Chains A and B, each alone.
Chain A
Amino acid sequence: MLPLFIIFAATAIVAALGVVFSRKPIYSALFLLVNFGTLAALYIMLRAQFLAMVQVITYAGAIVVLFLFVTMLIGGGELGDIRPRGSSLAARLTWPRLAALALALLLLAGLGYGIITGQLSNVQGSAVAFQNGSVQAIGQALYTEYLVPFELASVLLLIAMIGAIVLARPPE
């Protein structure tokens, strides 16, 4: 299981970096597809089969396709905001980039501290309850305990649909 996890995790991280560092939005969207696909695989390894299917259908099937449609509609030309040509290092270090650098260093420090002190190892779950798949468990919880949020989610989706249609209408 561990080599499989390492393969998926590495693919997810590389694809995420590809999203951030691609010049054209089309390439970013395709990298995003890879990222979502590997996350679906990780969900299956976590015995969340239903989530994996929803991930593939909603994210890879609907959201990425929507991104691709919009990118093609508005002409996703490259902006040159990453790797700008011919500017000095000091000019490139704007405050969002400094904040990003600080955030990355914070992550590294946190991970390093966790690994050195040994807090980040050997915490395992025992997946007996999810052995037979979690679709049934999710359905049961969704239609009993979480019925009201479930219904409210459908209302939210309806409102979002109406809002998107109203916003995207061509001007009179």
Chain B
Amino acid sequence: MIPTTYYLILSAILFVIGALGVLVRRNVLIIFMCVEMMLNAVNLTFAALAYHFLQVNGQIFVLMAMVVAAAEVAVGLAIVMKVVRNKDTTNIEDVNLLKG
């Protein structure tokens, strides 16, 4: 039997790696993938705690997070394609129209 905290440590590490990617990378597609990774890390936390407390609610939350992630990816990638079509770049440093 594996201690629940191991799962929590793993998901913390995965979350921080995802956050690192969002902060460090400038390629919009890779930033997007890192956001997905962070969502997955949180999902792992929910599943681990559902297992720990013997509650099915955590798994329902994971399901809802997956629905939101799917919607987010569909719309987000459409926006990315629009941006690339207009500005011909995947570097977010070049997308600064709203910057003050």
B and A form one assembly: yes
Residue contact B30 to A46, C-beta cutoff 8 Å: no
- Interface range on chain A (Cβ under 8 Å from partner): 35 or more
Task: Flag if A120 contacts B20 (CB, 8 Å).
Answer: no
Query: Which residues of chain A are within 8 angstroms of B27 by Cβ–Cβ distance?
Result: 25, 79, 81
Interface class of chain B by DSSP: helix
Distance in angstroms between the alpha carbons of A129 and B44 in the assembled complex: 19
CB-CB contacts of A14-49 with B at 8 A, as 1s and 0s? 001101101001001100100110010011011110
Quick one: CB contact mask for B1-38 with A, threshold 8 Å, 1 for yes?
Answer: 11111110110111011111101111101101110110
Which residues on B are within 8 Å of A, measured CB to CB?
Answer: 1-7, 9-10, 12-14, 16-21, 23-27, 29-30, 32-34, 36-37, 40, 43-44, 47-48, 50-54, 56-57, 59-60, 62-64, 66-75, 77-82, 84-85, 90-91
Report the bound CA distance from A121 to B5 in whole Å.
7
Select from chain B the residue with minimum beta-carbon distance to A163: B75
Contact with B along A85-123 (1 / 0, CB 8 A): 000000000001101100110010011001000001111
Whether B24 pairs with A100 at a CB distance below 8 angstroms is yes
Residues of A within 8 A of B (CB): 1-2, 5, 9, 12-13, 16-17, 19-20, 22, 25, 28-29, 32, 35-36, 39, 42-43, 45-48, 50-51, 54-55, 58-59, 62-63, 66-67, 70-71, 73-74, 76-77, 79, 81-82, 96-97, 99-100, 103-104, 107, 110-111, 114, 120-130, 134, 137-138, 141-142, 146, 149, 153, 156-157, 159-161, 163-165, 167-168, 171
